[in-house]
Chains A and B, each alone.
Chain A
Amino acid sequence: MTAVLTIAKDEWRFWLRSKLALAVVAVFALVLVAVSLLTGLRMHAEAHARAGHQADSEETFLAQPDRHPHRMVHYGHYVFRSPAPLAMFDPGLDSVTGQAMFLEGHRQNSATFSAAAASADAGGLTWLTPALVYQVFAPLLIIVLGHGAVVRERESRALAPLLAQGLSGRTLLAGKALALSLFAALLLTPLVVSAAVSLGSGESLLAAASLVGVYLLYLLVWAGLTLLVSSALEKRATVIAGLAASWLAITLVLPAVAVNVSSRAAPLAGKIETDLTMLTEERDLGDGHDVDDSVYDKLQAELLEEYGVQRVKDLDINIRGILAEMAEAKLTNTLNVYADRRMQAERRQARVLVQHGWLTPALAVATASRALSGTDLDHYHRFLQQAEALRIDFVQGLNRAHAEELTYIDDINRNRDAASWERARVDAANWQVLDEFRFETASAGQRLSNAGSTITMLMTWLVALAIALGWQSGRLRP
C-alpha cells in the first residue's frame, strides 16, 4: 500500500511540475466555473420567472368577475413547469421541451413543442451546461493528464528499472489509478458545490449525492480507460490517437448513432395523423354543448326519470352543466388514451436509446444525470400528467357550478336581453375551484430507481475496466 501511495504522490508531483498540465487544468476549471455560474444563474432566473408567471396566472383567473361558468372553461389557465433544483447543473430536456401549457375545456394542449424531439435528444452542443462539460470535456482532461501515466515511463525507459527492482505491474497500475482517481474526484468540486446549493433549494440529499456519485463513476471509467490504453500501447503517439478516437466515439459519435437507431427502432406516430384520428373519435362522442344531440338522449331520459319530471326545464339542476361534465369526462378519457399511447411510445424509444449506454458510458451518464436532476423524459411526462390533472379538476369544477349554480331557464335565455345576460352569471367565488399548480418532481428514491439501469451500466464498465487493468498489469513489460 505504501508503494501505491508513493507512485500516486509522484504522479501528482509530475502533474504539478508540468506547465502544460497546469495550464489545461486552469482552462478547464475556468470554463467549468463559468458555465456552472451562468447555468446556475440562468436556471435560477427561469425558476423565478416561471414561479412569477404561475402566480400571475392564478391571480388573473381568480380575479375574473362573475361570469357564465362555461366562459371560464374556455377562458382557461396557464401552468408553468418550475425547474428542479438540480436543473442548475443539468437542465436536461428543459431547453427543448415546453415549459408552459394552456389549460382549457375540451382540449389537451401541447407544451409548445414536439415531444418526439424531446424523447430522442442526447444532448446537443448548442447549449453548454455543467453536465455537458462533465460528460464531454472532463474526459478530455483526464486523457490529457493521464495518457502518459504508463507510456511515459516506458518511453523514458524508467519502467524497466522500476519493474526490475521488484515492483509489480499491479502495484504500479494501482498507484497510477489512485492518482487519476483522486484527480477525477477533484474534478467533481464544482458539481459538489452545485449539489450543495441545490440542497438549499429543497433538493434531497439522496438525489444530490447520487448525482455526484454517478459522475464519479463516469470519470473513473475514463480514468480506467485512459490507464488501460496507456499501459497497453507502446508509443505515446499511439496512445493519444487511441484515446482521442475513443473520446470521439464515446462522447460524440455513438450517442448520435444511438439517437438515429432508437428513432428507427421505436418510431413515434406523426402528430398530424394522430390528431386526425383523435378528432374522428371525438366527433363520435357528441357535442356536450348541445342538449338535443342524440348521443345524450339516454342520459336525458335517465335524468327525467330520476327527478320524476317530464321536461328538461323542470329539472332541479341545469342539464347543460351535467352534459358538459359528462362530455368532458368522456372526451378526457379518449384524450388520455392517446396521451398515454404517445408517452408509452416515447418511453419505448427512450428505453432503446438508453440501452446504448452499454456501448457508450457518455450516454449512460447523461441519462442517469437527467433522471436524478429531474429533467428527463419521465419528468416531462409528469408535468403533462400533473397539468392534465389540474385541467380536468378545474374544468369539471366549473361544469359542476354550471349545473348547480345556474338554472336551465336562465342559461338558455342568456342572450335574450341585458338582464338575461346578467342572470346567466355565477358568483366569482366559484373560480376558487382552481387549485394552485406547483410542479412536483419524483421522489429521490424514485429518481434513483429510474437511473438504476444506467448506474448498473457505468458500474459494469468500471468493473470490466478494472478486470482488464488487472490482466494488463500481469503482462506489463518495459
Chain B
Amino acid sequence: METSSKLQAESLKIHRSGKEVLSGISFSVNSSEVYALLGGNGAGKSTTLLSFLGFLTPSGGRVTVNGVSVADNLQAARKAIAYLPESASLYEHLDAYENLRYFLELARVSFDDSALDAALDRVSLNPDARARRLKDYSKGMRQKVAIALAILRDTDILLLDEPTSGLDPSAIDEFHDLARNLADSGKTLLMVTHDVYGACQVADRIGLLRRGQLVGEFSAPDGGRIETDTVHRAFSDSESGKARVT
C-alpha cells in the first residue's frame, strides 16, 4: 500500500515491567523527512524506536512502517529500516571493511569492495583508519561506519538513537550535514535526542515527548529551520511540568 507516511504511531501504548512507558502517542514521519523526537531521560524516546523495530509489543494502538503494521509483518518492517543504536554498536575485533561486510552479508545485501569505499568516502571516514580494528576508533568514527552501513543497505528509513551523544562539535556538525544530505536524497530519518540545538539544526519536525506523552510538535517553515529558542523554552517548560505545548 503506497503512503506518504513512512512511519506512523497510532495511539501507541507500551508497558515495560508493568509500567506504562508510552501513553497512547500518535505521530507520523513522512518520506524524505527528518523527524526528531525530543525528550529527557525516561521520556520514552528509545522505547518508541524499539516498537517500530518490533522489539516491544504495543499494549495498545499500533505502529506501521510503509503503511504495514509491524505486528503483521515484522520482517518487512525490519528490512525497510536501518537502525543505529546509541553509541554505534559495531564489532571492535573487526575493522571498518570487515564490519560492513559482516552486516551486509547477514542482511543479504550484495555489494562490491568499491561500494564500501564509496560509502565510507561519503561519511568522510579517513581512508587510513579503514583497515584498523574499531577498538581504536573514536565514537564519531564508529558513528560514521554505522551510517555507511545504513547507506550501503540502502533502506528507505533510518532510526537513530541519540546519534550525536558523545560526539565532539565538529563530528556533530558532520553528522547534521550527513543527515540532511540523506533526507535530501530521499531517506526518511526518525531520530531521538535530548539535544534541542541539534534537533533544531537538522529536523523538519520535532515531537516533544514527556513521560510517555507527546506534549508538542514543531514544524520547520518552508526553507527554514525550527527556532531553537521556542523549542528550548517548550522543552524546559515541559520538563518542569509547567505547560503543554501545542
Contact = CB atoms under 8 A, between A and B. Distances in A.
Interface string B62-83: 0000000000000100110111
Contacts of B90: 158
Interface stretch (A12-20, A230-238, A298-306, A335-343): A12-20
A156 B92 contact: yes
A160 B55 contact: yes
Contacts of B55: 160, 163-164, 477-478
Contact of B105 (A3, A14, A158): A3
A271 interface: no
B81 A164 contact: yes
Contacts of B50: 478
Contact of B91 (A158, A164, A166, A167): A158
A6 B102 contact: yes
Contacts of B92: 156
Interface in B135-152: 146
Interface string A131-164: 0000000000000000000000000111011111
A2 B107 contact: no
Contacts of B93: 13-14, 17-18
A18 B94 CA distance: 12
Contacts of A424: none
Interface residues of B, number: 28
Nearest to A161: B83
B83 A165 contact: yes
A160 B89 contact: yes
A157 B87 contact: yes
A478 B56 CA distance: 10
B125 interface: no
Nearest to A477: B55
A7 interface: yes
Contacts of A160: 53, 55, 83, 85, 89
A10 B107 contact: no
Contacts of B146: 161
B89 A157 contact: yes
A2 B102 CA distance: 12
B19 interface: no
User: Which among A13, A18, A156, A165 has the highest number of chain B CB atoms within 10 Å?
Assistant: A165
B242 interface: no
Given A14-B93, A157-B86, A157-B87, A164 B106 contact: no
A166 B78 contact: yes
Given A17-B93, A158-B90, A165 B78 contact: yes
Interface string B26-51: 00000000000000000000000010
Interface string A458-478: 000000000000000000011
Nearest to A4: B106
Contacts of A163: 53, 55, 78
A165 B102 contact: no
A165 B153 contact: yes
A165 B75 contact: no
Nearest to B98: A13
Contact of B106 (A6, A13, A156, A477): A6
Interface of B: 50, 53, 55, 75, 78-79, 81-87, 89-94, 102-103, 105-108, 146, 153, 159
7 contacts: A2-B108, A13-B94, A158-B91, A160-B83, A162-B103, A162-B106, A167-B106
Closest 5 CB pairs of A and B: A157-B89, A164-B83, A166-B78, A165-B107, A158-B89
Interface of A: 2-3, 6-7, 10, 13-14, 17-18, 156-158, 160-167, 477-478
